[in-house]
Structure 1
Amino acid sequence: MDEATLIRLLEAVGNGSLDPRQGADAVRNLAGTAHSGQVDLGHSILDTDRERRCGHPEIVFGAGKTPEEIVDVMRALHAEHGRALATRIEPAAEAALRAAFGDDVKIDDRARTASVGDPVEATGFVAVISAGTSDGRVAREATITARFLGARVEEFADVGVAGIHRVLHAAPRFREANAIVVAAGMEGALPSVVGGLVDRPVIAVPTSVGYGASFGGLSALLGMLNSCASGVTVVNIDNGFGAGFAAAQINRRIVHAQAAARSTS
């Protein structure tokens, strides 16, 4: 950004012709053009500008990457943003990350995630609900993702429709959430039930849990896509990361709107 452009922006904010928040956005947008926004590691090109554009840094999808590649990417992201998260890591990558980061890396074996760096302040409220204990690995990935992105998360485990009283018992609490993630396998009924109990966005995650005719989660996916409950959206099979990310984005916008409303009242 050249000096003349910056001066014009500051003058516009100073004389009231430009809202301060719009001015800040303009500065960020102009600043983004001043550098490449990427780091070339040879095997990977990191998008270091993503946090400015999208509000959150790039997150590493570990599947298909070598342990060495994952370590390299995590180091670079940690250096750039002070924190980094990887999903779908294998045991070999877990060992490599422990060797590289020591006690600074946090591994969740069930969710198959690894994170380094200081967590951001947790705000708002995201609920993560799982129908059965077998769905817990996907729900856990959603929880870790949303927490990494700054959401305060509460988990509601094993509250599936086979014992409908369980979800009804938890409902008064998860009704308070800004966004709700629901992970379920088998026939995938739970998101529809939750969607009929709340006035919040419900993000449904079909899991691959079930017997033969569940077709690896396809039955749950189709059931959720055909939900008669309004406000239910669906991510891909076993995609806890995508659900947690979407919930965190919704939560973030609500938190920002609430803060803006308080500042003007």
Structure 2
Amino acid sequence: MTGTQFLRKKKWTMTIVFIILIALTYGSAALTQFNLIDGLASIPATIAWMFSNLIPTAASFENLPKVLGRLWETIILAIVASTTAAICALLFAMLGAQTTQVNRFFGVTARFIASVFRNIPVVAWALILVISFGHHILTGYFALFFSTFGFLVRMFIETIDEASSDGVEALTASGATYFQMVVKGVLPDTLPQMLSWVFYMIETNIRSATLVGILTGTGIGYLFDLYYKNLDYAMLGLITILIIVIVFFIEFTSNSVRRAIS
């Protein structure tokens, strides 16, 4: 195949994909009766309503200690779920990665388990676990743990396989044990990137923990759901602002740490 034929084939492929995307978009809008013009026209009124109703009042600031306590609970839950899931994910990633897997059976099994956990959304995990554990903080922990575990196993496997194999081959040729190969050949090259993924999941889980809290009746999500049902918009505004501030702070701190270790 010549270069011209290749470019022509690629152009036709992109055209077909573009047409399919347009058809899917139009079909979805028709089925859901969504009107883009009406949606855009409603934005100014929505913004005006938010600024007139979601402004914290002096009365709402009286509940600030209670809100901060629940917010702290949510942050701790996200951090604990992320770090414990990372430890378990590292063990499975060592089994699943081509560079460090013990044998093919364990590698395929580790990848399959991670795929199952990764493809179930955190909301679905929360709904499933509520049936078993009820409205308890343990429910939120396991929901975040399972989804984080599946994601990190995949990211850790890709990180390990993309790392340079020269050190691993040299250690293996010199008669190093599996443990020595992992500690001295794999972890030094991959640990900064793995820590970067862990910090990313902590950011993500703080946001997810709010939604999980609504479903499980824990953390800041519980207060958000409570005040939402009572139509206390001033408190909803206060909670939303605090969540945004905390997420930005965690993201800034995480980015700084990731830049320092990379």
Per the normalisation by structure 2, the TM-score is 0.24
**Which of the pair is proportionally richer in strand?**
1
Which structure's CA Rg is the greater one? 2
Greater RCO (Cα-Cα under 8 Å, separation 6 or more): 2
